[in-house]
């Protein structure tokens, strides 16, 4: 078996402290704050009012827009408030606040669907939409939109089990513990997409996940595990396509489906399996809590809407010198100023770093060492773009193809001058976007 | 939202939240470490006539930078590198004032007129050397034999005369750092191992000089295949190819650009050596290629991921 990969990339310190910790279930929260916008696309309108009794799995938010995903209650209880609440994305979307009655009574319409063999592709897409399933890899794009088959079907579906971010282990644990369901979900997605093959890409530092997945595949020749080199950002969509499909590139400005490939997260396949087998919508998610600032790292199944403060307490609390809270992995995750935010469908992890790890470096001029050029998986020139960004020269940045940047952070990671390259790139991108939309 | 104020001890910054331990200062320290073998060999062969110029250049370069920006005497370490590199391009026993003028020129004209480290177009040490070469040509070519420390000519004055083995070990007249090939190669091997240089610039430089030396010897001095090797080992070519041309700030960042840059340095060096007025061409070859580095970078921009030809 050859180990595949892409060109470029880097090797951040690969700490995965929770890799061998089985998934534990968090306590049922007494109160959940469920944002009505947990996905890319149109935010939902609330379907409930303050004072309403709701059951677990009951739809509480939806919208007619095509690119959107409904939101369901993750507990049974009573709606006490509908108001904006701080969200890690930086915005404060409307949230439905529900006080749990502790009974976890399921809604009546949460029932197993027909067996997979009897479902049509359209029915699978509909089940995925009704269950409010979004991509769990990070972007939270509504999955039902991605399951619409292109003309003539699809060459291959790629499930992304690379999990190349340091610390994060939720996908790893899900593959180890729920490989059967992942394969079930993969088959459902293949049916919907009319995909001829399914490749499950896993970095070779997760031999137990590779073994469990191979076991679950059994003799099915349409599904195959692809072993990937341990290299960041192996789990980035385009880079994964290139690695798995032997050098195939997604052309600039196009989607992977234009070259016959669709990419989805392994965890997404599992929740699709749940939605078909049990009828339960996406009301909880497995996340990793890790970092030197938390007393006990964990992979933990959390109800959507649980306030993170409660989760941290179940992980032994944070240390006195905790200094940074990161939503997601250390390479791409966003820092948040507080522990008081709700867990969303696509929350993959929260990292807590201590003061010693939060160093504010002096930013030096670029010495043109070229390390960023060597590691950039988009093959652009982060050094020159960062200079353009520093000077607010957005025209120059555009000439240097700043828009091709996937913001993986490899350049800023390797930069010896500690230049905040990604930050400048983001500023350039938004400025260019603002210019072009005028 | 009121809790934000309560928990303001949490730092918010842009990703990535982990960074390599590598710093500019650590890179410069590694370059200094890589120069140790050459410095030691120079000290062995030329004794105080090597040690005194090296120390003066080092101190003068660091002091000049300190007086200009006052950020700690060592700062990022680049001034120290410039000082040592400049000293290695001087003849043994250079006068103290020659060292000081060279070092001050290197730091001010080579670096700070452009805005400091990272913004300079030309290799600062070579700028310092060029100033001295243009102003005191005689003193800059007053060589000593390492055997008896008496005046002698550089081997480049009589191409092909010095034995290759002497060029390799350093038992020839020349600038402080250009006598011993083996010391320079040890230092370069360390830089390669640490990932601060790659094979492209030295490879292009040495490779093109080797080929040109062999081919052009047929035209000028009678065909001799060892002439290529002789040209590589004699004079400042190795010091230039391994430590000067590989200066990150003043060389291209693209892989193809680095190769072109190296080849350009090699070709220009050989043209100056064989057809030019100066016996040695390394300094001006590298300075000329420094000047065209932005053009090379522009012309060799890599194809970005998913780029579609229009």
Is residue B63 situated within a structural domain? Answer: yes
* CATH number of the structural domain spanning residue A253: 3.40.50.11540
Residue B310 lies in a domain: no
The stretch A321-328 carries a mean pLDDT of 92
Q: Which residues contact A2 (CB under 8 A, 6 or more apart)?
A: A227
Give per-residue burial for B147-166: e unless 16+ CB within 10 Å, then b: eeeeebebbbeebbebeeeb
Residue with token string 């998913």: B306
Extract the residue ranges of chain B whose pLDDT is less than 70. 1-8, 147-149, 153, 155, 157-162, 217-225, 310
Q: For A5-31, what is each residue's pLDDT tens digit? A: 999 999 998 789 899 999 999 999 999
Per DSSP bridges, beta strands A223-228 and A195-203 are parallel
Give per-residue pLDDT as tens, A215-249: 999 999 999 999 999 999 999 999 999 999 999 99
**What CATH number has the domain bearing residue B236?**
1.10.3430
Count of CB atoms situated within 10 Å of the CB of A232: 28
A126 and A259 share one domain: yes
pLDDT tens figures, A109-159: 999 999 999 999 999 999 999 999 999 987 889 999 999 998 888 999 999
Q: Which residue of B has its CA nearest to A10?
A: B20
Say whether both A130 and A269 belong to one domain: yes
pLDDT digits (tens, 9 = 90+) for A392-438: 999 999 999 999 999 999 999 999 999 999 999 999 999 999 888 76
Residues B104 and B260: their CA atoms lie apart, in Å, by 31
CB-CB contact of A258 with A249 (8 Å): no
Judge if A262 and A378 occupy the same domain: no
The closest alpha carbon to B83, from B108, B110, B55, B111, belongs to B55
- Where in the sequence is the domain holding A377, given as residue range(s)? 371-436
Give the tens place of pLDDT for each residue, A55-67.
999 999 999 999 9
CB contact under 8 A, B308 and A325: no
Radius of gyration of chain A (CA): 21
C-alpha closest to that of B305 among A241, A335, A128, A277? A241
pLDDT at B1: 37
CA dist A69 and A43 (Å) reads 8
Is residue A422 assigned to a domain?
A: yes
β-partners of residue A10 are A232
Is the domain of A415 the same as that of A269?
Answer: no
* Domain, as residue range, for B185: 24-294
Q: Determine, yes or no, domain membership for B290.
A: yes
Q: Are A250 and A24 in contact (CB under 8 A)?
A: no
In angstroms, the CA B250 to CA B297 distance is 11
Give contacts of B 97-116 with A, CB under 8 A.
Answer: 115-116
Nearest of B52, B134, B153 to residue B94 by alpha carbon: B52
Q: Which of residues 6-45 of A touch B (CB under 8 A)?
A: 12-13
Domain check: are A378 and A254 in the same one?
no
Note whether residue B160 is domain-resident: yes
d(CA A375, CA B47): 44
Please indicate, yes or no, if residue B18 is contained in any of the structural domains.
Answer: no
A412 at the B interface (CB within 8 A)? yes
| A423 in contact with chain B, both atoms CB, cutoff 8 A | yes
Number of domains in chain B: 1
* Residue B17 within any structural domain of the chain: no
A166, A308, A370, A380, best to mutate vs chain B, most B CBs in 10 Å: A370
Q: How many folded domains does chain A comprise?
A: 2
Query: What CA–CA distances, in Å, run from A298 to A20, A26, A165?
Result: 9, 10, 16
Per-residue pLDDT, A10? 94
Contact A26, A315 (CB under 8 A): no
Let me know: does B162 contact B150? Beta carbons within 8 Å. no
* Domain assignment of residue B67, yes or no: yes
User: Are the Cβ atoms of A324 and B1 closer than 8 angstroms?
Assistant: no
Asked if residue A222 is part of any domain, the answer here is: yes
Q: Would you tell me how many other CB atoms lie within 10 Å of the CB of residue A70?
A: 21
Q: What pLDDT does A238 receive?
A: 94
Q: Distance (Å, rounded) from C-alpha B232 to C-alpha B211?
A: 10
Q: Is residue A181 one of the residues assigned to a domain?
A: yes
Average pLDDT over residues A349-359: 91
% residues pLDDT > 90 (chain A): 88
At B225 the pLDDT is 67
pLDDT at A280: 94
DSSP state of A232: B
A334 to A290, A438, B10: CA distances (angstroms): 15, 28, 12
Measure in Å the smallest separation between the Cα of A380 and chain B Cα atoms.
5
Interface predicted TM-score (ipTM): 0.89
- How many Cβ pairs within 8 Å bridge chains A and B? 165
Domain boundary among A277, A311, A346: A277
Q: Let me know: does A34 contact A74? Beta carbons within 8 Å.
A: yes
In a domain, B205, yes or no: yes
pLDDT at B280: 81
Residues A271-314 have pLDDT tens digits of 999 999 999 999 999 999 999 999 999 999 999 999 999 999 99
Domain boundary residue, one of A241, A262, A277: A277
Task: Among A337, A364, A423, select the one facing B7 at the smallest CB separation.
Answer: A337
Neighbour-count burial of B139, counting CB atoms closer than 10 A to its CB (0-12 exposed, 13-18 middle, 19+ buried): middle
Sign of CA dihedral A66, A437, A327, A211: positive
Q: Residue B218's pLDDT is what?
A: 61
Render pLDDT for A155-177 as a digit per residue (tens, 0 to 9).
Answer: 999 999 999 999 999 999 999 99
Q: Tokens for A387, please give them.
A: 């200079």
């Amino acid at each position: 078996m050859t180990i595949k990969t892409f060109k470029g990339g880097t090797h951040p310190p690969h700490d995965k402290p929770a890799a061998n910790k089985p998934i534990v279930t968090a306590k049922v929260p007494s109160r959940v704050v469920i944002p009505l916008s947990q996905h890319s696309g149109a935010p939902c309108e609330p379907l409930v009012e303050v004072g309403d009794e709701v059951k677990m799995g009951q739809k509480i938010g939806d919208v007619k827009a095509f690119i959107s995903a409904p939101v369901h209650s993750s507990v049974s209880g009573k709606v006490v408030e509908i108001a904006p609440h701080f969200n890690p994305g930086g915005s404060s979307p409307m949230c439905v606040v529900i006080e749990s009655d502790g009974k976890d009574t399921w809604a009546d319409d949460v029932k197993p669907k027909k067996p997979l063999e009897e479902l049509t592709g359209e029915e699978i897409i509909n089940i995925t939409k009704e269950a409010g399933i979004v991509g769990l890899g990070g972007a939270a794009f509504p999955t039902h939109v991605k399951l619409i088959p292109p003309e003539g079907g699809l060459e291959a579906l790629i499930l992304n089990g690379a999990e190349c971010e340091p610390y994060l282990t939720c996908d790893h644990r899900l593959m180890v513990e729920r490989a059967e369901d992942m394969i079930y979900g993969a088959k459902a997605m293949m049916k919907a997409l009319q995909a001829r093959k399914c490749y499950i890409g896993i970095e070779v530092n997760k031999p137990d996940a590779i073994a469990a997945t191979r076991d679950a595949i059994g003799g099915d020749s349409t599904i195959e595990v692809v072993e990937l080199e341990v290299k960041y950002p192996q789990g980035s969509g385009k880079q994964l396509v290139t690695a798995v499909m032997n050098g195939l590139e997604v052309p600039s400005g196009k989607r992977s489906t234009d070259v016959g490939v669709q990419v989805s997260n392994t965890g997404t396949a599992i929740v699709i399996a749940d939605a078909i087998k049990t009828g339960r919508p996406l009301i909880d998610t497995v996340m990793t809590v890790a970092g030197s600032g938390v007393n006990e790292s964990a992979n933990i199944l959390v109800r959507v809407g649980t306030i993170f403060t409660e989760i941290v307490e179940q992980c032994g609390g944070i240390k006195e010198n905790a200094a940074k809270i990161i939503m997601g992995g250390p390479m791409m995750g966003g820092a948040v100023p507080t522990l008081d935010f709700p867990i969303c469908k696509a929350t993959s992890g929260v990292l807590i770093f201590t003061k010693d790890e939060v160093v504010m470096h002096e930013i030096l001029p670029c010495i043109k060492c070229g390390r960023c050029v060597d590691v950039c998986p988009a093959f652009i020139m982060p050094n020159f773009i960062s200079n353009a960004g520093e000077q607010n020269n957005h025209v120059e940045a555009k000439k240097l193809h700043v828009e091709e940047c996937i913001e993986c952070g490899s350049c800023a990671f390797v930069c010896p001058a500690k230049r905040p390259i990604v930050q400048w790139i983001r500023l350039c991108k938004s400025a260019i976007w603002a210019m072009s939309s005028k | 939202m009121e809790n934000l104020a309560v928990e303001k001890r949490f730092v918010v910054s842009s990703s990535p939240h982990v960074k390599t331990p590598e710093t500019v200062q650590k890179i410069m320290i590694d370059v200094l470490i890589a120069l140790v073998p050459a410095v030691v060999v120079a000290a062995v062969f030329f004794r105080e006539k090597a040690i005194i110029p090296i120390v003066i250049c080092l101190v003068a370069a660091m002091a000049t930078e300190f007086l200009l920006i006052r950020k700690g005497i060592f700062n990022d370490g680049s001034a120290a590198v410039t000082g040592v590199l400049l000293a290695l391009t001087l003849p043994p026993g250079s006068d103290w004032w020659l060292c000081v003028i060279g070092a001050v020129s290197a730091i001010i004209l080579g670096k700070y007129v452009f805005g400091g480290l990272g913004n300079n177009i030309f290799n600062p040490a070579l700028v310092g050397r060029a100033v001295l070469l243009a102003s005191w040509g005689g003193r800059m070519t007053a060589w000593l034999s390492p055997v008896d420390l008496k005046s002698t000519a550089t081997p480049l004055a009589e191409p092909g005369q010095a034995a290759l083995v002497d060029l390799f070990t350093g038992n020839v007249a020349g600038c402080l750092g250009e006598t011993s090939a083996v010391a320079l190669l040890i230092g370069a091997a360390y830089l390669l191992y640490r990932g601060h240089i790659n094979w492209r610039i030295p490879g292009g430089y040495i490779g093109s000089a080797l080929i040109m030396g062999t081919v052009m010897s047929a035209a000028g001095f009678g065909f001799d295949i060892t002439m290529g090797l002789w040209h590589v080992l004699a004079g400042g070519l190795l010091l230039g190819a391994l430590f000067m041309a590989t200066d990150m700030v003043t060389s291209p960042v693209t892989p193809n650009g680095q190769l072109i840059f190296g080849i350009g340095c090699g070709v220009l060096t050989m043209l100056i050596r064989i057809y030019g007025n100066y016996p040695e061409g390394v300094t001006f070859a590298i300075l000329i290629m420094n000047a065209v580095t932005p053009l090379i970078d522009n012309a060799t921009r890599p194809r970005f991921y998913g780029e579609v030809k229009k």
